Amino acid sequence: MSQVLTVYEFWAPVALYAFATSASPGPVNLVAATSGTNFGVRRTLPQVLGASLGFALLLVVLGLGLGSVLGAQPRLYLVLRVLGSVFLCYLAWKLWHASAAPAEDTRVERPPGFWAGLGAQWLNPKAWIVALAGITAYSAPGENYRVQVLAMAAVFLVICVPSVGAWAVFGAAARRLMKTERAVRRFNGTMALLLVASIVFLFL
């Protein structure tokens, strides 16, 4: 790759990869959808912003050193995946027991905030896999390597916000179609089961 990051060799492929991976179903997106259903889009935005920044920071940290450590210590990577999966199972349990009260009801449990969104990406096995695969596929060793990693993180940050946010919008829209608390509980339960399923597929 040349010193200048070109549209066809870097920006376009990375943007497409970022969109495909950040908009597809995954633990963080399922949480955003459920939060949108129970609390609305505006109250879910901190989680969306935290998750987007969290992934960008994870990509930078992996790209600038931690990735090579994990490559040399596969057992450490397995431990991180297990710990992350346990955390995601906890999130699934929270979704399963989420209140079906209206989003305007201030008595319900608070939505996941900025730091919850940021931390979730660091404990999200899918995020680690996507980041490591992206670094491997779209960067090349050399004096331009750091620029590539930072540029990739910037692309993901820009694309993750609307991609994850779209799931919050979807959840809020679904809430308008659900007329009863029982329907909302079923939606929350479905999201919880999908979250658990997404964890299982990571280990297949």
Residue 52 lies in a domain: yes
Largest interatomic CA distance in the chain: 59
Length, in residues, of the chain: 204
Residues 6+ apart with CB under 8 A from 188: 34, 37, 38, 95, 96, 98, 100
Answer yes or no: is 79 within a domain. Answer: yes
State how far the Cα of 124 lies from the Cα of 89, in Å rounded to an integer: 11
Q: Considering the domain boundaries, does residue 1 fall inside one?
A: no
Residue 158, pLDDT score: 96
Query: Dihedral of CA 70/135/165/158: which sign?
Result: positive
Q: How is residue 166 written in tokens?
A: 């779209």
Residues 81/191, Cβ–Cβ less than 8 Å: no
Low-confidence winner among 71-75, 98-102, 165-169, 181-185 (lowest mean pLDDT): 98-102
15 falls within a domain: yes
Residues spanned by the domain of 27: 7-201
Is 123 within a domain?
yes
> Which amino acid is located at 5 in the chain?
L
Tell me the C-alpha distance between 193 and 125, whole Å.
17
Task: Give a yes or no: residue 187 inside a domain.
Answer: yes
d(CA 148, CA 143): 10
**61 belongs to a structural domain:** yes
Which H or E run contains 14?
helix 12-23
pLDDT tens-place string over residues 108-118: 478 889 999 99
Which region among 3-7, 67-71, 95-99, 146-150 has the lowest average model confidence (pLDDT)?
A: 67-71
Residue-level pLDDT at 69: 58
Tokens 């994850």: give the residue.
164
Does residue 3 surpass a pLDDT of 70? no
**Which single residue is written with the structure tokens 């090349």?**
140
Q: What is the mean pLDDT of the chain?
A: 81
- 149's CB contacts (< 8 A; 6+ apart) are 59, 60, 63, 64, 135, 139
Residue 64: per-residue pLDDT: 86
pLDDT at 87: 72
Plot region of 142 (φ>0 → left; ψ -120 to 50 → alpha; else → beta): left
Residue 2 lies in a domain: no
State what percent of residues in the chain have pLDDT above 90: 34
Q: What is the count of structural domains for the chain?
A: 1
| pLDDT given for residue 103 in this prediction | 45
pLDDT over 50 (residue 26): yes
Q: What is the pLDDT of residue 2?
A: 45
